[in-house]
Structure formats: structure tokens, C-alpha cells
Amino acid sequence: MTGGQREAGPQAYQIRVGGRLGQTIRSAFPALEARLEDGDTVLTGVLVDQAALYGVLAEAEALGLELIEVHRLPNEPRKPQKPSKPQEPREPYKPRERREPSS
């Protein structure tokens, strides 16, 4: 491969397409959030790998969208997560017994 090294794994992308996308077209990109910016639609989100990016671009082409630009966004450093405590096993749900009204 030529060029710089690429990070493997999920990457955040910003994809700008021409015009305003309706809800039906936006639903073709469930992994991406859409916002309107200067008359264009900007789709932003994390894609699992480069194949997923090519899938999104192929879908945009199939829908006849005008592709304006694609940006890979810098990955934010992840904060170390605290290990989660193992949960104690819970008792299965038992309905309360009904009491007969006293007369």
C-alpha cells in the first residue's frame, strides 16, 4: 500500500451530499446522523471499517446523490473505562400471593 498508514477498525466520517435529503433517503444510512448545512446534507457517524464506507458511498451513488466531499474525522482518545463490577445473581421474579379480603 502506498501513502500513510491507516488505522484499522472503526473510524468516524463526514460525508457531504448535495441538497436536502428526505426521511426516506436518510433511512438508507441508519449508521449516520444527518444535518442540513448550507443547503447540503452532511452525514456523520462511525463506520466499522473501510468496506462499510464503500458501502455507504455505493448506496449514495445508487440513489443518485451528488457526492460533494468525504472526510475521515480524527479519532478522539478514549478514556480508560473502569472495570464493571460483576452483578450478583438476582432471584427470579415471584408474584405476591393474593390475600382474600377478611370479612
Tell me how far apart the alpha carbons of residues 5 and 42 are, in angstroms, rounded to a whole number.
26
The CATH fold assigned to 11-73 is Alpha-Beta Plaits (3.30.70)
Tell me the torsion sign for CA atoms 68, 33, 61, 12: positive
DSSP 86: P
Rounded to two decimals, what is the model's pTM? 0.67
Q: Is pLDDT of 99 > 90?
A: no
Q: Is pLDDT of 37 > 70?
A: yes
Q: Grid coordinates in use for 28? A: 438508507
What's the pLDDT tens digit per position in 49-84? 999 999 999 999 999 999 999 999 987 655 545 555
What's the pLDDT tens digit per position in 14-34? 999 999 999 999 999 999 999
Every domain of the chain and the residues it spans: 11-73
Q: Is pLDDT of 3 > 50?
A: yes
Q: Is pLDDT of 1 > 60?
A: no
